[in-house]
Amino acid sequence: MNTGDPIPFTVVGGFLGAGKTTLVNALLRQAAGLRLAVLVNDFGSIAIDAALIESASGDTIALTNGCICCAIGDDFAAGIEAVLRRRPVPDHILVEASGVADPGAIAQIALLDPDLSLAGVLVLADAEGVLARLADPRLGDTLRRQLRAADLLVLSKTDLAPAAPVAAALRPLAPRAAVVEGAALPLAVALGHHAAGAPQASGHGATFAAVTLRPSRPLAAAALRPALEALPEGVLRAKGLLVVDGAAVLVQRVGRRLAITPCDAALEPALVLIGDEAVWDGAAALAALGLSS
C-alpha cells in the first residue's frame, strides 16, 4: 500500500510488432534520475540492454539507473501490489500490454486504485501494416479496441510507409488521441517526466518542444479548465502544479484526457506544455489567463 501521493501509471499498448518493446527500452535508457517500474509479461520479450542490468532475482530485474522490471505473468494485480510495496516507491509505473490486450481495460486499474494516477494510454500502430490488419475480420476488433483507448497514438515504422494517410484513417478510430509520427519518443512526451532533460528531435521528422508557463495572477477553475481542454492537438502533454481558486492542484493533460486534482506538493507553481510547434500557440492562448513564459 502506497501511503504518499498517487503514483503515475502509464499503459503502452498496440498490436504485435508495433514497436512497444522498442519504445519501453528507449524509455529505460532515458530514465536516469527517475525510478521507473516496468511491468511486463515476459522478460525475454524486452531484451533489456545488458549495460543497464545491475542484478536479477526471481521475477525482478534491477537496473543501474534506479529502474526495475517485473515479470507479472497472469497475476497482474499481484504484480501491481508488489510494486506498490517497494521502498522507495517508484516515481512512475509503466505497463507494457500484450499485443492482443485491451490497454483501456488495464488503464481502469489506475482509475479505480487510489494509490495510482492514470498518466495516459500510449498505443503504437505500425504505419506499414495497421490498415491491412484493421480490414482483417480476425484482427480488426482487437485493433479497434486498442485504438479507442489511446490518449496518445504513436505511428511507428514511418520510414516504411507514408504517415499522413494512415494518421487520417486512424483519427476517427482514436477520437480522443493526439497523433505522433515516429516511435522514438522523449521521456517527457511519453510519460510527462523530464528525467532526461528537455524534449529533443525524435523519429522521422518529429520535433518536440517544451515551454514552461508561470502564473502572474490568481487562476480560476472556471476559466482554466476550458482553456486547457481547448489546447491545440499538437500539445501532446500539459503538466504542472498550479494554485487554482486558492488551492494547489496538479494539472495533467495527455491527448484530450485532462485531470485537475488536489495536490499538497510544495513546489513553485508552473505548467509545462510539451508537443510540436503548437505549444507556442497553446502558450499564447493561456497567456490571457495570466500564464506566461
- 3-class DSSP state for residue 173? helix
Averaged pLDDT for residues 101-117: 87
Residues 178 and 284 placed together within one structural domain of the fold = no
Residue 206 has pLDDT above 50, yes or no: yes
Give domain status of residue 201, yes or no. no
Q: pTM of the entire structure? A: 0.85
Q: CB neighbours of 136 closer than 8 A, spacing ≥ 6?
A: none
* Residues 38-78: tens digit of each pLDDT: 888 755 555 565 566 666 666 777 776 777 778 776 677 77
Q: What is the mean pLDDT of the chain?
A: 83
C-alpha cell at 12: 503502452
C-alpha cell at 250: 496538479
Give domain status of residue 98, yes or no. yes
Of 190, 219, 238, the position where a domain reaches its end is 190
Residues 174 and 57 placed together within one structural domain of the fold = yes
**What pLDDT does 56 receive?**
65
**What pLDDT does 25 receive?**
84
- Give the burial class of 225: count Cβ atoms within 10 A of its Cβ; 0-12 exposed, 13-18 middle, 19 or more buried: middle
Q: Which domain holds residue 216?
A: 209-288
Residue 195 has pLDDT above 50, yes or no: no
Q: CB neighbours of 253 closer than 8 A, spacing ≥ 6?
A: 228, 231, 235, 237, 238, 239, 259
Residue 197 has pLDDT above 60, yes or no: no
Residues 153 and 26 placed together within one structural domain of the fold = yes
- Count: domains in the chain: 2
